[in-house]
Amino acid sequence: ANAPCQDVLRLAFVPQTVTADGQPLKMEPDLARNGYAVRPFGNGDCLVTIRHDGCREVLVTGGTGFLGANLCHHLVARGDQVRVLKRRKTPPTLLYGLPVEFAEGDVTDLDSLVAAARGVEGIYHVAGLISYWRPKRERQYKVNVEGPRNVVEAAVRNGVRRIVHTSSIAAIGFR
């Protein structure tokens, strides 16, 4: 049996949202009902925190990268069972010694994602390709546009109820 999960995972900065008439949208009550906590900052951002009472089996895409590996370390530390989607030729250097399961696949391969997502309760989609080199545009589109589409499809096919998607403006590349 796993140790009990820690109470809090600091997740993301989310911009404050306003209604059509310019009034702040009250996110806190809706998010709190769904297991989230929101702490506003003076600059208009909010820190969203997930709270949960039990361990989860989760899939992390991009878990062999810098951000994804740090997320994996945190998830394991709080007691989650972590499965990492790993491309065949990508070494898991940042995950050595960490008790995670590896599922071979790629976000551009729907079948591998469907197999990797089988039995998980949540997916953290952290995979992405950042490149400003024009010859990599097609691969960048596949990873950063078709990849998230595949993650959502794999989640739907497996009945996964939660997806956390991470991205950056750098994902669109240089035009």
pLDDT given for residue 95 in this prediction: 94
Nearest Cα neighbor of 103 from 124, 81, 87 is: 87
Spatial contact of 36 and 27, defined as CB atoms under 8 Å apart: no
pLDDT in tens, 3-33: 444 334 443 444 444 444 555 545 444 455 5
Place of tokens 């820190």: 47
pLDDT given for residue 55 in this prediction: 61
